[in-house]
Amino acid sequence: MTIKLIATDMDGTLLDDQKELSKGALAAIETAKDQGIKVVLATGRPMKGVQSYLDQLNMAGKNQYVLTYNGAFVQNTAGDPVISHPLGYDDFLKFEKLADEYKMMLHFETMHHFYTTNTDLNRYIAMESFVTDTPIRVRTAEQIRRDIVIGKIMITADPEDMTEFKKQMDHKYFEDYQITMSEEFFLEINSNKASKGTSIGQLADKLGINHDEVMIFGDQGNDLSMFKQDEFVKVAMGNAIDDLKSRADYVTKTNEEGGFAHAVRKFALND
């Protein structure tokens, strides 16, 4: 098999549980790059939450790419947009009303900030802000610009409350938007045109890479769209959810056991 593009999720996949890149992952990516393979970080994070890893991987410039906000944006690492499927102000209002109805907490994410109308932040929003190094702006709905460009909307709650909330949500929301779970306390909402799978396919097309030359890695629900692409070479982590494992071509070791590097060496580098 010939692999020309590797697209990998970050948290729980490429990164270990301490949110760090292992020496094995760094070495595997460096060797892949030396062999002319494009490596793309495909994440729910904003660009700012990815930059330190791009620096470690020496991935800079107009010919290196990163997928952020679950596929809402694909940019080159110089910051220029390549693919864009954002949400807008009306989408925010719709989900803000829904969150208020069920007493859930909502924030949305732009290229540079998180916004919320909640003055009493929960630990999940605080954690997301810290991990991605993205500041939070507390604003009323009236203070938010009507032309704002939104990468994704997130609803956060304790796992048991989130499970009940998902059961009660009108199914129409799932038809009109891409709604995924990246953790049991994070519900992520994207444009129906935006998903990791769709945007990686579009990027491959732009680069002249066949879809059967694309290898993808993931572990959670927001990676599922990549695993629904029939032609991709699909690798689920050993710590992945069952839905991904059942669709995978190969289940590798866990993120703590170097599963990413193991599968890259086995299938892309032919070690």
Q: How many CB atoms lie within 10 A of CB 33?
A: 16
pLDDT at 133: 86
Gap between the Cα atoms of 106 and 180, Å rounded: 15
Mean pLDDT of the region 152-170: 91
Handedness of CA 248, 252, 258, 260 (dihedral sign): negative
Please give the biggest Cα pair distance in the chain.
Answer: 57
Gap between the Cα atoms of 27 and 58, Å rounded: 12
pLDDT at 190: 94
Q: Does the pLDDT at position 231 exceed 90?
A: yes
Q: Is residue 232 within 8 Å of 209, Cβ to Cβ?
A: no
Q: Is residue 166 within 8 Å of 126, Cβ to Cβ?
A: no
Q: How many CB atoms lie within 10 A of CB 30?
A: 13
Percent of the chain with pLDDT over 70: 100
Mean pLDDT of the region 86-115: 94
Instruction: Please state, in angstroms and as integers, the Cα–Cα distance from residue 81 to each residue in 62, 75, 76, 258, following that order.
Output: 10, 4, 7, 31
Q: Does the pLDDT at position 254 exceed 90?
A: yes
Give the right CATH number for 89-191 from 3.30.1240.10, 3.40.50.300, 3.20.20.140, 3.40.50.2000.
3.30.1240.10
Q: Does the pLDDT at position 214 exceed 90?
A: yes
pLDDT at 215: 98
Q: Does the pLDDT at position 1 exceed 80?
A: no
Verify whether residue 9 is a known catalytic residue.
yes
pLDDT at 244: 97
Mode of pairing for the β-strands spanning 186-191 and 152-156: antiparallel
Task: Name the active-site residue from 9, 91, 219, 223.
Answer: 9
Domain boundaries, the chain: 5-85+194-268, 89-191
Give residue-wise pLDDT tens across range 104-128.
999 999 988 999 999 888 888 888 8
Give residue-wise pLDDT tens across range 12-66.
999 999 999 999 999 999 999 999 999 999 999 988 889 999 999 999 989 999 9
pLDDT at 81: 87
| 5-85+194-268 placed in CATH 3.90.226.10 | no
pTM of the full structure: 0.87
Confidence of residue 170 (pLDDT cuts 50, 70, 90): confident
